[in-house]
Structure 1
Amino acid sequence: MQTYAIGDIHGQYDLMLRAFEMIEKDRARDGAADSPVVVLGDLCDRGPKSAQVIAHLYEAQSRGENIVVIKGNHDRMFSTFLDDPWKRDPRLRPEYTWLHPRLGGPQTLASYGIREPGNRPVEQVHTEALCAVPPEHRIWARELPTSYTRDDAVFVHAGIRPGIPLEAQQEDDLVWIRGEFLTDTRDHGALIVHGHTALDESTHYGNRLNLDSSAGYGGPLSTAVIEGRKAWLLTPEGRQPLEPVLLEPMVR
């Protein structure tokens, strides 16, 4: 079996469309029209077109396309703000809110047509956001799954807590974890396909595959096809093998 996966999009709608185009070309070559596409979360924030990304994926799923969208920490912060603008994500550093420029919340709200979302009273911005974000998109984003398992791969946004059975993993870890997961070299019982930790390029570490190639910081958006525990990066020229390496990731 093969599964396609797309790394952290972060509002880069045009890059996402090109990723789906490469998937369709690969499907046409290999005849795998029924293979699912897993989007690894962080649909929104930092990039200019988060609203378009969310609408596209919502509508594609509504049409019955075989797309699985995983919840990322930025997607959770977006949903949390819409539900309660004063509620803080428990894993967010205390000096930040979702509306801090470093996190990219203002860019997401601006993509919905909200004027100067980072420079006006929070109550006003929240009221306008509830009018601007379609209710069905709001519900959809809130209810996104945090993991997806297929064949020898488990797809999550950030990673897993090592040593804990996959069925006992907690959402906070699945959408936020870094250090304990990134430095663990043991076999997790499956290839963990994830994003969240931005690298210069997608990297296969043997026990995990990181597909966050920094689209949220102006880098490319990575798209891969996974068969068992092997993976290939999709490029305009075709597949490029992602061979396991033993290097430590460069964490942004």
Structure 2
Amino acid sequence: MQPWPTRIQGPVAVIGDVHGQLDLLNSILSQLQQLPNYDELWIVLIGDLVDRGPDPGGVIQRILELREEHRRTTVVFGNHELAMLGALGWVPTPEFAEWNPRWIQFYDSEPTFRSYGVEPGDLEGLARAIPPEHKEFLTTMPWVVEHPENIFVHAGLDANQPTEMQLRILHAKDWTLVRPPWLCDKAFAAQDGPPDNWRRIISGHVPTAEVVIRPKRILTDTTGGLRGELSCVILPECRILQSRGGADRAVTQADESMPTRHHESSATANTAHVQPSATVRQPAVQPPAVSPQRGISTESNRISDRVSTSHGVPRDRSAEEKTSSGHAEQGRTASEKKRGSSRSNRREQPSGSAQKMSWWKRLLG
């Protein structure tokens, strides 16, 4: 297999977190194939291809086929791929990360096992069942893709660290980190990135009711693998395609405190998809003190402000929960909160050990 491209240029269609939802992915790809500039269009999948949805193995196979059909295709590594490969021992993660059993317990991995015909939890069986070309696909995925106008990374960039230093670590893929923040940190969704970065950062990882577009930031995950429509953002015009019906929508900011979404017709998408950056008030983010961790390079240790000191578990669990939930709450309008509350009330409430695990799922994404 040829290496996945990590530096691209030209028009781009970036697809949000697929999470095993093969039918939604096929709907997006079918719409893209109808575009007059399809042959010139780069297709970028923003990570989290596995877990939650019904057919992760089918998604991997479809992207391999897509790459043969459309050479301008590339992918970005997500935290669910990291957890899966760490559990299988296919990438050199630290032993104290304990991806086995963390992936099995906290990442909704059951559909990934079943899509390969294996009982959930049977890691040895899964390792045998995954075809060699799927293994190569997963283990060679880049952590970042660069474009002259955009940076594609699963969770985002740290606003408190220099851009070039972060990009060097991302291209090198520093496996010594327990939870690389660019793949795992939900707080990055509320940040527009480092002050020295002039390119727009495009990510998934944090589910939102609609695609979020800010002058220097785009959030593309509109399903979380659980509900809603899979979204695709076509750049540079910021045209939106969605699965199941192929709604064609443009998105603008509407709220000063945290960008929410306002729909416009595609005719006005190119000129009115963002408000001036002065209307966006981002919370100040102070990098917390982190103790050095054995096996982590000096450069990586400075930038990974949420790596724990023991077994990959946050030292201050309540503080991390508040950070994640606080930023997520800022991104929702009052109506979204009401809808989210009603959906929450309809869900079956976990009991016993499942309740003890719930904070992990909110944290891990």
The normalised TM-score by structure 2 is: 0.59
How far apart, in 1, do the equivalents of 2:136 and 2:40 lie?
27
User: Aligned partner of 1:112: which letter?
Assistant: Y
CA RMSD of aligned residues (A): 2.7
Contact 2:44–2:76 (Cα < 8 Å) also in 1:
yes
- CA displacement at 1:36 relative to structure 2: 0.4
User: Aligned partner of 1:38: which letter?
Assistant: V
Q: Which deviations, in whole Å up to 9, do the C-alpha atoms of 1:89-123 show, x marking residues without a partner?
A: 8498x9x71112x41112111111012x14xxxxx
How far apart, in 1, do the equivalents of 2:184 and 2:115 lie?
24
1:184 aligned to which of 175, 178, 191: 191
How far apart, in 1, do the equivalents of 2:114 and 2:141 lie?
22
The normalised TM-score by structure 1 is: 0.83
- CA displacement at 1:60 relative to structure 2: 2.5
Aligned-pair identity in percent equals 25
* 2:103 is aligned with 1:98: yes
Aligned to 2:85: 79
Give 5+ residue unaligned stretches, structure 1.
Answer: 119-124
Aligned to 2:39: 33
Distance 1:53 1:79, change over 3 A: same
Large movers: runs of 4+ above 4 Å: 84-92, 235-238
Distance 1:185 1:81, change over 3 A: closer
* 2:130 is aligned with 1:48: no
Corresponding pairs, count = 236
Contact 2:159–2:192 (Cα < 8 Å) also in 1:
no
Distance 1:88 1:165, change over 3 A: same
* 2:227 is aligned with 1:218: yes
1:249 aligned to which of 331, 339, 354: 331
Q: Which deviations, in whole Å up to 9, do the C-alpha atoms of 1:24-67 show, x marking residues without a partner?
A: 12x22xx3421100000000000110000011112322455211
Q: Decide which structure has greater strand share.
A: 1
Q: Which deviations, in whole Å up to 9, do the C-alpha atoms of 1:191-245 show, x marking residues without a partner?
A: 1110000111111122210000024112211111010xx5121145664222244
* 2:140 is aligned with 1:132: no
Contact 1:91–1:176 (Cα < 8 Å) also in 2:
no
* 2:19 is aligned with 1:16: no
Give 5+ residue unaligned stretches, structure 2.
Answer: 1-9, 171-179, 259-329, 338-361
RCO greater where, 1 or 2, for CA within 8 Å and sep 6 or more?
1
Indicate the SS of the match to 2:238: strand
Q: Decide which structure has greater helix share.
A: 2
> Structure 1 residues 170-179 or 216-225, which shifts more?
170-179
Distance 1:64 1:83, change over 3 A: farther
Q: Which deviations, in whole Å up to 9, do the C-alpha atoms of 1:1-37 show, x marking residues without a partner?
A: 4210100000000000001112112x22xx3421100
Aligned to 2:183: 175
How far apart, in 2, do the equivalents of 1:237 and 1:126 lie?
37
Indicate the SS of the match to 2:183: helix
How far apart, in 2, do the equivalents of 1:89 and 1:209 lie?
34
How far apart, in 2, do the equivalents of 1:58 and 1:79 lie?
18
